[in-house]
Structure 1
Amino acid sequence: MANSRFEYVKDFEQPDGLLPNTWIVVRIDGRGFHKLSNHYQFIKPNDRRALDLMNAAAVEVMKELPDLCIAYGVSDEFSFVFHPSCQLFERRNAKIVTTIVSTFTAYYIHKWAEFFPSTPLKPPYLPSFDGRAVIYPSSAILRDYMSWRQVDCHINNLYNTTFWTMVQQGGMSNTDAEQELKGTVSSDKNEILFKRFGINYNNEEEIYKKGSVLYRQFELQEPKVAQSEEEGSAVPQAETSRSQQDKLKRLRRKAQVVVDHIDIIKDDFWLRRPWILSGKPGKLPGVPA
């Protein structure tokens, strides 16, 4: 591009690079989804179609961005995780966040008709998402973040399941159900579900209790000793050449992106899938060594 006297305006742009050697988590949330879900009559407390649509959009984001190593979704939110070695867009905050948000929104709208064929999208009730990036200095803190989101999923789903059961099956008003649940703990809610309505919360579908975990599937490994804190942490890593980065991306693209509903708080999930924290692709299932 030729220089011009107007080019000085570039000086007003501020650098927004995210700290090197840290985990990047881009968390997106639906904007105004309470009104949207009411307008399109989402089923309460959980609409499987809406959750599957969220997952389908997230899978496409994972496919388009091989730098992503794992994602976690619940309700109208999704967290996308980049390894500390990621150099996508030179780790520029705005570029990474806007790419995730716009790609996810595009696929969410594109795939809407697959999951809601009888209720086409119409203004002003169009889905949109916001997002922000947060950096975490170690794999231990990243795991705590992921655990926090899954615990939050369980707490919210138990409350919503109990609340809507009291309203839909118990004939209570929203206000009365909310008032009765105020100050209750998990055991209280489980007791209400079981004694009043014969519902064993443990038998609810895993997607509702644990959310959705997306990752690239390589051959599972037998759990070994716990991973050292230094691996995937803020410890500076050896510079990866462009050719090495391209090779890793090709390997990740070959791996299937799976949607799982599994416990990610315990060590077993991470130990059997070491490629997530190491950033090094494993062996593709069914492919000879």
Structure 2
Amino acid sequence: MKFSDLDSKLRVYETAHDFCVLPNVYMVARIDGRSFTRLTKEKQNFERPFDIKFRDLMIETVKHLMNCGFEVIYGYTESDEISLLFDINTTVFSRKTRKYNSILAGEASAKFSLLLGDIGAFDCRISQLPRKEDVIDYFRWRNEDAHRNSLNAHCYWMLRNKNYTAKEATKQIEGKSVAFKNEMLFKEGMNFNDFPKWQKRGVGFYWSEVEKVGFNPTTNQKEIAIRNELKVDMELPMGNEYNEMIRSLLQNGRVFSKNNKD
């Protein structure tokens, strides 16, 4: 059988179930670490409950994903997860979810592993959100999740450091209120409000236009040029203020790195 015949016969098995996200629907990718509990607890000596080295690995991974060919308006990371909001008008990879899931998981896994010097694998899924309010709710959800996880983690590891077993520490905070957990930390001399914001709210990434001074060799004069710059925000707000931040990013349109390619 000729190659062309084989290709036309078998290619359909790869593409028959391709799904493309409809126009005017927002896409958000959530990229999660696979088996990161084992990676961070058994294979790597990361500080508990939060480790600056691990945070920086995740930051560099997000920066890579926002510069590897996708039109990303906003990136966000907390713990071992990453969320990416794509421009609603993007046509990269014809909006095929198969391509987004496979490429983003692969790019994240490769970048993180190279930085760590060990294997760190990620999976990926795409949320299809029909309205701006759904996008705002999505990122508010992840922001609130970061806050909840941070409080639980600080309480858990405070108890573990006091020689509670894993089971005992979990039982101490299971089902307890936010006020109870804050008071538990306060009695040990820790004020949760004083912990770094990146631990409680995650880290955000968005493009901004900045002025750069350049030199024009033709006119032999300095000139001001506008460049796109990726801002890493470790002081994210919470609540309605965070909602308004996401709303503003949605309304201000698309600004992408010059390195991005379809």
- Choose which of 150, 154, 162 in structure 2 pairs with 1:161: 154
What's the TM-score, normalizing by structure 2?
Answer: 0.83
Q: Distance in 2 between the 1:32 and 1:83 partners?
A: 30
Query: 1:6–1:65: structure 2 CA closer, same or farther, 3 Å change rule?
Result: closer
Summarize the alignment of residues 85-164 of structure 1 with structure 2, pairs less than 5 Å apart.
Answer: 85-112=89-116, 120-121=117-118, 126-164=119-157
Contact 1:31–1:128 (CA under 8 A) maintained in structure 2: yes
Query: 1:270–1:87: structure 2 CA closer, same or farther, 3 Å change rule?
Result: farther
Q: Please identify, of 99-108 and 157-166, the stretch whose mean Cα deviation from structure 2 is larger.
A: 99-108
Q: Which runs of 5+ in 2 are unaligned?
A: 211-225, 257-262
Counterpart check, 1:4 vs 2:5: yes
* One-letter identity of the residue aligned with 2:189: G
Q: Distance in 2 between the 1:35 and 1:27 partners?
A: 20
* One-letter identity of the residue aligned with 1:20: P
Question: How far 1:210 moved relative to its partner?
Answer: 0.5
Q: Distance in 2 between the 1:272 and 1:28 partners?
A: 19
SS at match of 2:40: helix
- Choose which of 52, 56, 63 in structure 2 pairs with 1:59: 63
* One-letter identity of the residue aligned with 2:27: I
- Choose which of 63, 68, 75 in structure 2 pairs with 1:71: 75
Q: Distance in 1 between the 2:35 and 2:246 partners?
A: 38
Question: Would you identify which runs of 4 or more consecutive aligned residues in structure 1 move more than 3 Å?
Answer: 267-278
- Choose which of 207, 213, 216 in structure 1 pairs with 2:204: 213
Judging by fraction of residues, say which structure has more strand. Answer: 2
Question: How far 1:6 moved relative to its partner?
Answer: 4.5
Query: 1:273–1:148: structure 2 CA closer, same or farther, 3 Å change rule?
Result: closer
Q: Which runs of 5+ in 1 are unaligned?
A: 113-119, 220-252, 283-289
Q: Distance in 1 between the 2:182 and 2:124 partners?
A: 34
* One-letter identity of the residue aligned with 1:209: K
Q: CA RMSD in A?
A: 2.4
Query: 1:187–1:271: structure 2 CA closer, same or farther, 3 Å change rule?
Result: closer
Question: How far 1:110 moved relative to its partner?
Answer: 2.1
Q: Distance in 2 between the 1:189 and 1:268 partners?
A: 24
Contact 2:136–2:247 (CA under 8 A) maintained in structure 1: no
- Choose which of 225, 228, 243 in structure 2 pairs with 1:255: 228
